[in-house]
């Protein structure tokens, strides 16, 4: 399996970055995991030699603009792939800071190729989507400014649409996550419950931790992860704290990971 980061917040020329995440996963199934916030992932894919026309399936990890904003662009360049997105991802979403609201959701796309996911799903032998992470660990502190629209107005976002991809390979399980809004510890706890006989060889994606990094670092070691590649919503502080106990790799636009 080969994972290529098409978009992340940072990049070196001629590649360009934006606040967001998009990963191309090449294996028995070719998957686009998230699209960033624009069509930039397409430009970077061309420079990196990634053919998005060969993608079999797209997955949108959750309904935030920096992960699903480029979806319409993907549908333009790929005529066949199905898109999987969690039920509820198109609900209105706002970031509220200092009393000011900012829309951070994804506009609803009415396309027959877009399919809503209501629960766990086996995509292919060794490829599984997990949905629903009700573990015992704290949610990220960074969720405190994130809200969703409801009949009674804005309420704290539950992120019940969040999807995580798990790929079972020779090196163990690879867990691919967008932002880990349900908490990376709860996600790993759910993965372990579904695959009790398989170790977690690698985690790839955003962890959405900053000031709560010491708490995560104090708990994550119990999962015995081989390697963590992270960036995007993982703060520099979190890198420093987690780097003291975990094998960390930096995820940037153009990063290529082999399993």
- Tell me how far apart the alpha carbons of residues 30 and 193 are, in angstroms, rounded to a whole number: 26
Q: How confident is the model at residue 241 (pLDDT cuts 50, 70, 90)?
A: confident
**Of residues 164 and 212, more confidently modeled:** 164
What's the confidence (pLDDT) of residue 152? 93
Domains of the chain listed by start with CATH number = 2-258 (3.60.15.10)
In angstroms, the CA 84 to CA 22 distance is: 15
How many C-beta atoms lie closer than 10 Å to residue 218's C-beta?
12
Q: Percent of the chain having pLDDT more than 70?
A: 100
* pLDDT score, position 237: 84
How far, in Å, CA of 137 to CA of 144, rounded? Answer: 16
The confidence score (pLDDT) of residue 211 equals 87
pLDDT over 90 (residue 68): yes
Q: Which residues contact 49 (CB under 8 A, 6 or more apart)?
A: none
Task: State the pLDDT at residue 110.
Answer: 94
Q: What is the pTM (predicted TM-score) of this model?
A: 0.97
Confidence of residue 101 (pLDDT cuts 50, 70, 90): very high
Residue 245 pLDDT > 80: no
Compute the average pLDDT of residues 114-142: 96
Tell me the chain's radius of gyration from C-alpha atoms: 17
pLDDT at 165 over 80: yes
Contact in structure between 190 and 133 (CB atoms under 8 Å): yes
Burial grade of 40 (CB within 10 A; 0-12, 13-18, 19 or more): buried
Q: Give the separation between CA 193 and CA 173, rounded to whole angstroms.
A: 13
Above 90 in pLDDT, residue 183? yes
Q: So what's the pLDDT on residue 51?
A: 98
Mean pLDDT of 212-237: 92
Q: In this predicted structure, which of 65-74, 85-94, 128-137, 207-216 has the lowest mean pLDDT?
A: 207-216
What lies within 8 Å, CB to CB, of 29 at 6+ separation is 56, 57, 123, 124, 127
Residues 214 and 241: their CA atoms lie apart, in Å, by 6
User: pLDDT (tens digit, 9 = 90+) per residue, 6-43?
Assistant: 999 999 999 999 999 999 999 999 999 999 999 999 99
Average pLDDT over residues 152-177: 97
Q: Which residue has the higher pLDDT, 123 or 245?
A: 123
User: Strand pairing of 172-177 and 163-169?
Assistant: antiparallel
Q: Is residue 244 scored above 90 in pLDDT?
A: no
Q: Are 167 and 198 in contact (CB under 8 A)?
A: no
What confidence score (pLDDT) does residue 236 get?
A: 85
pLDDT tier for residue 246 given thresholds of 50, 70 and 90: confident
What are the helix and strand counts (H, E) for the chain?
6, 18
């Amino acid at each position: 399996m080969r994972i290529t980061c098409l978009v992340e917040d940072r990049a070196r020329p001629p590649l360009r970055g934006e606040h967001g995440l998009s990963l191309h996963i090449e294996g028995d199934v070719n998957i686009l995991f998230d699209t960033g916030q624009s069509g930039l992932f397409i430009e970077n894919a061309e420079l990196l030699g990634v053919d998005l026309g060969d993608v079999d399936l797209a997955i949108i990890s959750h309904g935030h603009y920096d992960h699903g904003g480029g979806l319409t662009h993907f549908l333009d360049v790929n005529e066949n792939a199905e898109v999987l997105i969690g039920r509820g991802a198109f609900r209105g979403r706002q970031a509220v800071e200092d009393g000011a609201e900012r829309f951070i959701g994804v506009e609803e796309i009415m396309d027959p190729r877009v399919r809503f996911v209501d629960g766990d799903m086996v995509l292919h032998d060794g490829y599984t989507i997990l949905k629903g992470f009700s573990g015992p660990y704290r949610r990220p502190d960074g969720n405190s400014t994130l809200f969703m629209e409801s009949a009674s107005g804005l309420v704290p976002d539950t992120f019940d649409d969040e999807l995580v991809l798990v790929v079972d390979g020779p090196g163990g399980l690879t867990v691919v996550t967008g932002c880990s809004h349900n908490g990376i510890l709860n996600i790993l706890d759910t993965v372990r419950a579904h695959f009790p006989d398989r170790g977690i060889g690698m985690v790839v994606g955003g962890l959405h931790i900053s000031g709560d990094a010491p708490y995560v670092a104090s708990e994550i070691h119990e999962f015995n992860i081989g390697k963590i590649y992270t960036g995007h919503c993982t703060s520099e502080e979190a890198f420093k704290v987690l780097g003291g106990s975990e094998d960390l790799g930096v995820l940037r636009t153009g990063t290529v990971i082999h399993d």
